[in-house]
Structure 1
């Protein structure tokens, strides 16, 4: 029966639908255009860095040297370009929730070195209006899957975003941070779950880090002892 099922429904590339050898995989062409992050990375945002470092040495990219990050460590699975960008947009705006399973696996792999046993997984919240318009929060879908795969506790509504904010596209780094300052808050009834806990914040993309910074501050206000961040993709400067 399983062989018959695979004959009728052969595995397809998660992006272009070309035939592949296993489920939830990329074809050769799409994989060649996917910038997976590995090797030496910035300890604060996960962007890849050239060279090598000692095992216990903390290294930071230029952006994280200039901008103080309120979280402790950060990781990302992909660079936000080519296939990585297409996958993010397909999940975020194309209703491709079927992508959550393979994408969250990549995220769980890169996050494993920074996780503590008592970590709780918290998604970046959406404003209610945007949630109703999109019908789902892609960060919450990824966060739930990461929690399931790592065996950690998932807290879907520890944070809230009560006010609408302007789209961040086209804003400078300073404008992004100003726009999002104090716009993400602890849930008045559920944020007690963050007290004295290590938190892993999950989002789809990190650009400037303004959204993650606002969410981190909210976690710290709620009493979290340690906050790390995990994104599917990281916007990086061109070589």
Structure 2
């Protein structure tokens, strides 16, 4: 073994590491990281302490089917009125936070402003919220974009979140298992019935990819759950492809104060 060569190689690696650290430090000084919500300087990536306190993390008690938070604990196994009146195709839904002002800012930054650096921390919160879903899951399926929208946006925010959750949980992503067969209108501003009609028949598991979900317990990954129409349409497509079970895990969910369980 050439000791001098080994020493020289180690020194070179240490020097490159030191230069990289110095470059990162200089960049941080020149361009300090800002809170994505209020634009105040913040250490690391994400939100400042003030905005962190404004995030409304969802914790028990909540509806075991839809994950809608209860104001008080009604006892084990009791479903929300919405879950009883309109049971979805998926088995369970969980969300990390309520879709409030700070959560909306995070979602929009990830979705429309190329802030893919937010996906790891958002995915970490999601993995924590969905620990019971991920415990026996066999595949993650991100809600797909239509290829035209994917081309213009350059990445799928649900896919970015799924990759972060894959790293956290070890549950593999079933890539290309679910396909959006036609472009759909943006769901924002649509009524519940319009949202359902908008995504009806929009998703499909192609035959050549059916083996990725057939007989498996699947967790569908998305950024926001509003009416549940998109998640329900995706779940139906996965169940038609003979997935054993479909659960839904999102970063944020809309909680209607007028319809929330009391």
TM-score clears 0.5: yes
Shift of 1:40: 1.1
Structure with bigger gyration radius? 2
1:14–1:188 distance in 2 versus 1, CA, 3 Å: farther
TM-score, reference length from structure 2 = 0.82
TM-score, reference length from structure 1 = 0.90
Q: Which has more helix, going by share of residues?
A: 2
On the 8 A contact 1:79/1:234 being kept in 2, the answer is yes
Q: Secondary structure at the match of 2:208?
A: coil
Shift of 1:178: 1.8
On the 8 A contact 2:144/2:156 being kept in 1, the answer is yes
Shift of 1:49: 1.3
On the 8 A contact 2:134/2:169 being kept in 1, the answer is no
Counterpart residue number, 1:200: 219
1:23 aligned to which of 44, 56, 60: 44
> How many residue pairs end up in the alignment?
236
Q: 1:50-84 CA distances to partner (integer Å, 9 max, x unpaired)? A: 11254xx2233343232121111110011111110
Shift of 1:172: 1.4
Shift of 1:221: 0.8
Q: Secondary structure at the match of 1:199?
A: strand
Unpaired segments of 5 or more residues in structure 1? none
Residues in 2 aligned to 1:187 and 1:95: alpha-carbon distance in whole angstroms? 29
Residues in 1 aligned to 2:50 and 2:227: alpha-carbon distance in whole angstroms? 30
Q: Secondary structure at the match of 1:168?
A: coil
On the 8 A contact 1:180/1:214 being kept in 2, the answer is yes
Matched, 1:47 2:68: yes
Counterpart residue number, 1:186: 205
1:64–1:118 distance in 2 versus 1, CA, 3 Å: closer
Residues in 2 aligned to 1:45 and 1:156: alpha-carbon distance in whole angstroms? 26
On the 8 A contact 2:61/2:73 being kept in 1, the answer is yes
Residues in 1 aligned to 2:174 and 2:69: alpha-carbon distance in whole angstroms? 29
Matched, 1:151 2:170: yes
Matched, 1:219 2:238: yes
2:192 aligned to which of 169, 173, 183: 173
Counterpart residue number, 2:125: 106
Residues in 2 aligned to 1:121 and 1:12: alpha-carbon distance in whole angstroms? 31
Counterpart residue number, 2:9: none
Instruction: Tell which deviates more after alignment, 23-32 or 175-184.
Output: 23-32
Unpaired segments of 5 or more residues in structure 2? 1-17
